[in-house]
Chains A and B, each alone.
Chain A
Amino acid sequence: MEGFFFIHLIVYHVFQSGLPGFLTPSGLHFPPCPSQGGQRFLVEMAAPLTLLLILAVTIRAALFRSNLAELIAERVEVVSPITAWKRVVEGLALLDLGVSPYSGDVFHETPLIIYLFHFVVDYAEITFMLADVITAVALYMAVKDYNKQVFRKQKFALEADRYPLDCLELIRSPKEMYYIPLKVAMFYLLNPFTILSCVAKSTCGLNNAVVALFILSTIKGNALLSAIFLCLATYQSIYPLTLCAPAMLYLMQRQYIPVNFRRASFWWFIAQYLFMYLGSLFVLICLSFFLLGSWDYMPSVYGFILSVPDLTPNIGLFWYFFAEMFEHFRLFFLCVFQINVFFYTIPLSVKLKEHPVFLIFMQLAVISIFKSYPTVGDIALYMAFLPVWSHLHRFLRNIFLVSCVLLACSTLFPVLWHLWIYAGSANSNFYYAITLLFNVAQILLVSDYFYAFLRREHHLTYGLYLKRKDGSEATLVLK
């Protein structure tokens, strides 16, 4: 399954980048804005999406029924101490025993999750499948809306003759963009990482659904819903806090508020959004307090995420680093590693202030690489965005290598885990090495997309075929 996915990814990339933008003059005559034919569009696209959903649900249902489900639920790559279903069940069992689930160190999910499953624990499988479906549909709708805007913006730019003439092959055609939302949904639903995560009943799927709804409401321009979903996502795992910046940038862009520190409207909007965000966060935190009647959950959930006391191996960078850390440097490195996750927000927001959706993608990727308890479910969320950036493929430098490494690592994870934990013929270094490689590959993937994005923007301003002063063909370098 994984193999299929990555081969698909490679073929997809090679195919896309191998074909030069065959822009014919006819391509310049864009069809009328798709929103006019919205009805037709909806009917045409609904059928494949429905089929996709049915396929995805079937695969998941089949896996739930198989005996693989138990095996998958134990995999450290798929579940973390926070998201493991076993721990959620333990929390429920503790509640039944009359013990606070946060009095121990097994349960680390938020009070809302435990109360959610208090009612739907018997329908957990359906809940998790539903969460995946919601994520996929939300991403589908968000990307569709986003593409419409991209297209419109491009049209205005073209009409204003803002693009250099030799850039015409960089212009995106509606034909290319037509299937992108479906591909996004497909990349999410059929990604083996998502499937594994869903079958393991990792609560990461729920977090992804919340983030997807946040993206949808942001792209639809609903500031209130955006703030509420962002607050829910933050409440679940702190890190989505950094998505605040792209959300505000996007909403301001949509409302034609200039990003200018000297303008009152800018500050007024920021204040409004932060008020909604912090207000709903306050409500959520108080609600959790009243559900349990104590603040126990604060150290148990957020303290646990930030101070990384549980060193169970996972695909991230934290576990082995802090297992091997010298005691007196622990706090220092803990701060460094945690700040690292949040730190990129500011420079990225400055650099990408015109492109908040790409900023969201970058943030999601940075979070899922550098967070303290990452799982494959987090990776699946940002990977779902890859089809949105399919027009960047001609500028990607090492996508083949990265895909191969990711593929190899994904298969080596279980192999080396088995050698270390069960066979005893390898030690922890083997597994650690694979996590390192996996993270390097992810970093390369993300920075490659970032590079390609910046390069395309550069070409759209300065022309595609750049010449040196002496008229020979020039190469672009970063300086």
Chain B
Amino acid sequence: MAAYRCSSPVWLFILCSFSVFIIAGSEETPVAQEQHANVPDNPQTAAETAEQTEKETGGAEERRWEGTEVRDAATQKQAEPVVLQSTPRPKDDFQEELVVRPLHSGDIYASFQFRTLWETDFMRGNKVSHYRLFPKSLGQVISKFSVRELHISFTQGYWRTMQWGQPYLPSPPGAELWVWFQDSVTDVDATWKELTNVLSGIFCASLNFIDSTNTVQPSASFKPLGIGNVTDHRFLRYATLPREIVCTENLTPWKKLLPCGSKAGLAVLLKSEKLFHSSFHSQAVHIRPVCQDWQCKTTSWELRQTLNVVFDLHNSGQGKREWSLFKMFSRTLTEACPLASSSKIYIDITDNPEGEHFELSPATSLLSQAMVLGDRRTFSVYDLTQQDTFGSVRSLNLLIRWKSTEGDMLRPLLHAERYVAGYGLQTGEIHTLMYNNHPYRSFPVLLLDSVPWYLRLYIHTLTVTSKGKDNKPSYIHYQPSKDRVRPHLLEMLVQLPPNSVTEVTVQFERALLKWTEYTPDPNHGFYVGSSVISSLVPSTVAMDTNSTQERPLFSSFFPCKEESSYFVRVYTEPLLVNLPTPDFSMPYNVICLTCTVVAVGYGSLYNLLTRSFQIEEPSPGLAKRIANVIRKMRGVPPL
């Protein structure tokens, strides 16, 4: 055990550093701005740099990625610093982009990202009072509560990993909030309580229901994504509200944080009547400190607002596999946000290199390639800052028309599901299934479970089995619950064997609560937040070692480190668990009846204790008593 404990921090550190690295990389930001000096960035730049040289659309059939990739990366790497240093850089910067990925199920995944960078220091003594692009409400939150990192997401619907693949930014159903505080905060719990209440007001959500009963301090699963190597999880708070329902009132305040609001740029598309008519909707805000330059001499704050939505085209498209911006959002684009330094739309055309699956119009001249989630993806790029993107009609309405429905998706290497087993309202068993679909590599995953106190977990019943064999976790961090105070926290590091299902089961007991502790609809059940599975998954690029024909031979012998694995966070379904309920109409009756029984006990003992046995004198009859009364009045001795 001790040996495992020693090795686990190493793992955690690796996970942590990779999470910084991969999340940063997956969003196609210039690596130079984000990486630490100590992270080797050469091979990665090649893979991740977004910008590609322009090409004529007519030359699409002669795309040769092998050649251009290396050269472009090299040219860009020389070009960029020059640009950065020659012009006086503004202190803040705003970028917006939309990624559209046609899914194999026929659905469409649209992912918006808005990034505001600001080179300032909220923590310094003098107050930051002049805000330009950065929203003032969030800036004040950061400085008042000494927030180091803040991640909040509101999600409606469940991401179906097996049908849709991995999302760019995973989030659990309901609301999720995790915050790293500065280590100068003394009373973290009080600050956290206040922060949730403030955020509740800002986002118009019931985050004020976050209290100690649903807050945990994960020891390993959530590491800072920005700079700073703080790993003392005393300054971390994590909470989910799986029951939170996301709707228009959450979208409006979220849009107001954008520099252009919903007046211009990509945010014009965010109309709630369409966004919430979808299979999946998730909006998030991520705030973190990042490096401003390559050497990380200055730091700046990054605000990333993301919105992911999956449209069910079978539903909304009347069975016709064809969609356009107008069909999805009932708007078209006419301009970029004037404040944005970059404004782009990416369409994932990886599965459609020759245009055999769908047809894209208007055609684009820009192409881009990036490593996303361990896979090399190709995108068509529409740069909204260029006027010619909008063509003669001065409006951009992207259209994809499907030609065939074939094509199979690469199965996600890691996915998970969870359910409650057992019947009746006394006990139950939580089953978490984790699938490793990699054909020959095993990898470790960190499983985080936060279970409310009213499901009393029995940790001695915890079993982890893969392929029918016991799979002992190498690290277990368990914090038992306290009734009405804090939830259970279970974190463990499990090695998933290749091509296997690992099942984690743990038994629980359902508690009977006080009648005032039930929700207004107690027989609907109680939600248990999603399990969080964090892992470094072997890359799919590294997986196909045989398909070397598309790559130069010199690049494919040793699997390169950065490509060999990538960070993934997977959320399982939240659980809905029924608890036994008392009869809510009965409080008076119960109080009366129980008190009666106690009184029966008290009375009968009191009776025996205070009275003594006496011979019963028969009471005289009524006539005799009346006669006696009369005699008494007459002054005659009674009968």
Contacts and interface: CB of A to CB of B under 8 A. Distances in A.
Contact of A436 (B509, B594, B612): B594
Contact of B580 (A90, A428, A475): A428
Contacts of B590: 320-321, 324, 432
B480 A106 contact: yes
A353 to B, nearest CB: 12
B613 A455 contact: yes
Given A432-B590, A451-B608, A97 B597 contact: no
B39 interface: no
A90 B583 contact: no
A447 B458 contact: no
Interface in A308-340: 309-313, 317, 319-327, 333, 337, 340
A478 B514 contact: no
Contact of A450 (B587, B602, B608): B608
Interface in B456-511: 456-460, 476, 478-484, 488, 509, 511
A93 interface: yes
B554 interface: no
Contacts of A432: 590
Contacts of B598: 317, 337, 340, 370
Contacts, number: 170
B604 A443 contact: yes
Interface in A404-443: 420-422, 427-429, 432, 436, 439-440, 443
B558 interface: no
Contacts of A97: 459, 476, 478
A309 B483 contact: yes
A311 B613 contact: no
Contacts of A310: 483, 511
Contacts of B488: 104
B597 to A, nearest CB: 5
A94 interface: yes
A396 interface: no
B458 A477 contact: no
Given A93-B460, A309-B484, A324-B587, A443 B582 contact: no
B591 interface: yes
B511 A311 contact: yes
Contacts of A327: 514, 516
Nearest to A418: B424
Nearest to B480: A104
Interface in B590-632: 590-591, 593-594, 597-598, 600-602, 604-617
B363 interface: no
Nearest to A466: B615
B615 A476 contact: yes
B456 A326 contact: no
A90 B453 contact: no
A345 to B, nearest CB: 11
Per DSSP, chain A at the interface is helix
B14 interface: no
A97 B473 CA distance: 12
A90 B509 CA distance: 13
Contacts of A41: none
B615 A468 contact: yes
Nearest to A333: B591
A347 interface: yes
A74 B425 CA distance: 12
Interface residues of A, number: 65
B593 A90 contact: no
Given A311-B514, A317-B594, A476-B615, A421 B479 contact: no
B423 interface: yes
B597 A90 contact: no
A153 interface: no
A429 B583 contact: yes
Interface string B303-343: 00000000000000000000000000000000000000000
B612 to A, nearest CB: 7
Contact of A479 (B453, B511, B513, B611): B611
B513 A422 contact: no
B611 A322 contact: no
Contacts of A317: 594, 597-598
Contacts of B606: 347
B591 A324 contact: yes
B586 interface: yes
Nearest to A319: B512
A323 B611 contact: no
B604 A311 contact: no
Contacts of B11: none
B581 interface: yes
B57 interface: no
Contact of B513 (A323, A439, A468): A323
Contacts of B482: 103-105
A401 to B, nearest CB: 14
A421 B580 contact: yes
Contacts of B583: 324, 427-429
A76 B425 CA distance: 13
B515 interface: yes
Interface string A86-109: 100110111001010001111000
A333 B597 CA distance: 14
A63 interface: no
Contacts of B481: 104-106
B352 interface: no
B190 to A, nearest CB: 22
Contacts of A49: none
A439 B597 contact: yes
B479 A74 contact: no
A479 B615 CA distance: 9
A225 interface: no
Given A97-B478, A104-B480, A429 B586 contact: yes
A103 B480 contact: yes
B426 interface: yes
B427 interface: yes
Interface in B496-540: 509, 511-516
A347 B515 contact: no
A244 interface: no
A309 B511 CA distance: 11
Contact of B593 (A89, A333, A347, A436): A436
Given A104-B482, A324-B590, A325-B514, A478 B424 contact: no
Contacts of A325: 514, 587, 591
Contacts of A344: 605
A351 B479 CA distance: 51
A321 B616 CA distance: 40
B608 A477 contact: no
Nearest to B584: A324
B560 to A, nearest CB: 39
B516 to A, nearest CB: 6
Contact of B423 (A74, A370, A422, A479): A422
Nearest to A474: B615
Interface string A349-378: 001000000000000001001100000000
Given A105-B481, A323-B513, A450 B612 contact: no
A432 B608 CA distance: 28
A420 B580 contact: yes
A458 interface: yes
A312 B582 CA distance: 11
13 contacts: A89-B460, A99-B479, A309-B484, A313-B580, A320-B590, A321-B590, A323-B512, A323-B513, A325-B587, A428-B581, A477-B613, A477-B616, A478-B611
Query: Which 4 A-B pairs have CB atoms at the shortest separation, nearest pair first?
Result: A104-B480, A93-B460, A447-B604, A324-B590
Given A311-B514, A429-B583, 10 more contacts: A74-B426, A93-B459, A103-B480, A106-B458, A323-B515, A324-B587, A432-B590, A444-B604, A447-B601, A476-B615
Interface of A: 74, 76, 86, 89-90, 92-94, 97, 99, 103-106, 309-313, 317, 319-327, 333, 337, 340, 344, 347-348, 351, 366, 369-370, 420-422, 427-429, 432, 436, 439-440, 443-444, 447, 450-451, 454-455, 458, 466, 468, 474-479
